[in-house]
Structure 1
Amino acid sequence: MPDTKLPHPSDLKTIGLTPFIYCSNQPLFHVSAGVPIGDALSQASDLLFLVKAFAEDAAYDKKTDRHAWGAYFLTAMSKAVIDDVVKVISYPKQTSSK
């Protein structure tokens, strides 16, 4: 029976299979493959920080919806990054040591 070893989390990278923002039922954007998951999650955290600020602004500024739309698109981007990372960590490739 081969000895299996899971990759170290710092070696994991995004797989780029997660689309976001659709136009005419086609994804306009997707997460890029090959980004270290730590960097990807850090970026998602920064995006979610902005989402929180935009959502708060939207709650107080009833004259415009620009903050709400900004929060909407940033949320879609953040969710896609997190979903892509979850795909990587949920189904890690097992490597066999020789």
Structure 2
Amino acid sequence: MNNQSELKTIGFTPFIYCSDQALFNVRAGVPIVEALSQASDLLFLAKAFAEDATYTKDTDRHAWAAHYLTAMDKALIDDVVKVLTPRPARTATKSE
């Protein structure tokens, strides 16, 4: 297995859908340490917006901001998990 400091996102994880089509996806090639650091920052902001949403009754903009930030954060973490999760060994098929 590679040194974890060399592992990078694979870019397979979509987020924010529009008409059943992914509008965005995680970019491949980002070092996972940086991706996880960004995910932590996004979670911090989402938590702050969610907390603000509980007190601000005249608008839902804080709740929507938290929603989009958590969608981005989940995609980042899911992409890193795909990199870190070992895949089963590939076996030859009859056609090979």
Same fold (TM over 0.5): yes
Question: Which of the residues 60, 63, 68 maps onto 1:65?
Answer: 60
Local SS of the residue matching 2:82: helix
Separation in 2, partners of 1:39, 1:90: 18
Specify the alignment match of 1:3 in structure 2: none
> Where in structure 2 are the equivalents of 1:1-98 lying within 5 Å?
6-91=1-86
Greater relative contact order (Cα 8 A, min sep 6): structure 1 or 2? Answer: 1
Displacement over 3 Å in runs of 4+: none
Percentage of identical aligned residues:
71
The code of the aligned residue for 2:48 comes to A
Residue segments in structure 1 that go unaligned for 5+ positions in a row: 1-5, 93-98
TM-score after normalising by structure 1? 0.87
Separation in 1, partners of 2:29, 2:45: 24
Local SS of the residue matching 1:46: helix
Local SS of the residue matching 2:9: coil
TM-score after normalising by structure 2? 0.89
Separation in 1, partners of 2:47, 2:2: 34
Over the aligned positions, Cα root-mean-square deviation in angstroms equals 0.8
Query: CA shift at 1:91, angstroms?
Result: 2.5
Separation in 1, partners of 2:86, 2:71: 23
Aligned length: 87
1:16-41 alpha-carbon deviations (Å, 9 max, x no partner): 00000000000000000000000000
The code of the aligned residue for 2:3 comes to H
